[in-house]
Structure 1
Amino acid sequence: MPPSRSAAEWRGQPSIRGSSEPARMILLTFSLIGLQLTWGLEQTYCTPYLLSLGMSKSTTSAVWIAGPLSGLLVQPIVGALADRCTSRFGRRRPFMVAGSAVTALCLILLGWTKEIVGIVTDSKSVVIVTAVLSIYALDFAINVVQACCRSIIVDVLPTSQQQTGSAWAARMSASGHVIGFLIGTLPLVDILPPG
């Protein structure tokens, strides 16, 4: 029976640069450090930030449904779309780059919400809504990148090395979280005073 047209089609030979297996595994999974660092910083700083904008504690807690909701919705959809992607850059990389760009834009918008919204209006509620929408967009973008970072391990590694790749992914994720939470303990306002 011939394969269906919707089935994924492999082209070329997947490979990872690096002179040794640990070097290849680090290069394959290194992006997970940045991903988990972003999650950690968001979890550490966003609640106090939203409270400083004037949002109530009960409303702030409702904002945190964004992470699980985005994971539930985005990862399967992006996985299915990436499986069908025929980009010359690979199946996962275009989604990783686009998700990373949106993540960077959301972090910038979130970091300077008052200033950016202040260009248009002085409304406190518009500042809060913009910050909340930035958090939702950030969580959705992070989940796009995360789905592809994890899928590329399966795409590139032979079955015999996928367990090792998953172990390296867990190491990188844990490292990113530890770095993020350590940064969260620092008095950054004292270390880096505003302009």
Structure 2
Amino acid sequence: MSPVLRNSSTSVAKRPDLEAGQYKEPQGASFWVLLAVSMPRMAVNMAWAAQWAALGPYLSTMLPNYAVQLTSVIGPVVGIIFGPVIGVLSDRSTSRFGRRRPILFVMGVLSIICWILMGYTNELGEALGDVGSGQAGEKTDRTWTAILTLVFYLWMDITVTCSQTPTMLMVADFAGDRQTLGAALGLGWATMGAIIPAVYIQIWGAAYLTLHWFMGLLCVVMFVSVTVAVIFGRETPLEKTDNVTSTCHGV
């Protein structure tokens, strides 16, 4: 073995802070608090997976293929527009409930309302005059159902994007020096959110065929995860200052 390899294998990396007796424990929330505040990542990722698993095939029964593909552009465009705006607004929020929790709570509630209505698009469309189921040889006109689905699709993109931003910022706020741990826990929840729709489809078939139940499951996951995050993620409110500039200037 060469001297270089021998020295590198036996040497110990020097830590000036340890040698000087100045080592400090990493600052940040505990494992369990980080696990709680990162939980909405599961609901957010499940919502994005639901667009491909349920809404895409559902729209394909009412719209031509090119129109269905165009709807996939909505998500990135909404993210580019609303993501930075929500980030700045939450950074400057002086609410007594904290900077992230109010936005996360409101957007979570709006997402749940959207999904409840989305589960009944077929019934709402029929009430407005739609006929048929799209099967071959059957007279079909599902214009209203398609319009309502697109409206709720856009609504969902906005609220889920606006939920995603404060969720990620909240994890970063609480993690402190434990950013790697916070990111890992968030990724774990996000992975679980992607797995749930796949398991649902494997057991019960195409999600749009049981849209009520699928959207109901999505509502339950969002409600539970947001509730856990806002209860255990106790933020310190931002103090009001006199030199606050406009939000547009911050963007």
Give 1:26 deviation, angstroms: 1.1
For 1:176 and 1:193, locate their aligned partners in 2 and report how far apart those are by CA, in whole Å: 18
Identity of matched residues, %: 21
RMSD over aligned Cα, in angstroms? 2.5
Q: What CA distance in whole angstroms lies between the structure 2 residues aligned with 1:121 and 1:86?
A: 47
Q: Structure 2 CA distance, aligned partners of 1:77 and 1:96?
A: 14
Structure 2 counterpart of 1:149: 167
Q: Does 1:162 align with 2:171?
A: no
Partner of residue 126 from structure 2, selected from 101, 118, 126: 118
Q: Secondary structure at the match of 2:178?
A: helix
Residues 61/192 of structure 1: CA separation in 2 closer, same or farther (3 Å cut)? closer
The 8 Å contact of residues 41 and 183 in structure 1, kept in 2 or not, is answered as no
Equivalent pair of 2:59/2:146 in contact (CA under 8 Å): yes
Contact 1:41 1:181 in 2 (8 A): no
Write the letter of the residue equivalent to 2:195.
V
1:84–1:91 contact (8 Å) kept in structure 2: yes
- 1-side partners of 2:88 and 2:206: how far apart? 42
Q: Which runs of 4+ in 1 moved over 4 A?
A: 188-195
C-alpha distance after superposition, 1:53-80 (max 9, x if no partner): x211110110111111111111101001
Query: C-alpha displacement at 1:163, in angstroms?
Result: 2.1
Which structure's CA Rg is the greater one?
Answer: 2
Whether the aligned pair in 1 keeps the contact of 2:41 and 2:186 (CA below 8 Å) is yes
Shift of 1:194: 8.2
Partner secondary structure for residue 186 of structure 1: helix
- 1:90 aligns to what SS in structure 2? coil
Q: Does 1:129 align with 2:147?
A: yes
1:98 equivalent in structure 2: 106
Structure 2 matches for 1:44-193, cutoff 5 A?
44-52=53-61, 54-122=62-130, 124-158=142-176, 160-188=177-205
Name the CA distance, whole Å, in 1 between partners of 2:212 and 2:86.
38
Residue type at the aligned position of 1:109: L
- Distance in 1 separating the partners of 2:152 and 2:211: 24
Match of 2:40 among 14, 31, 52: 31
How many angstroms apart in 1 are the aligned matches of 2:125 and 2:97? 36
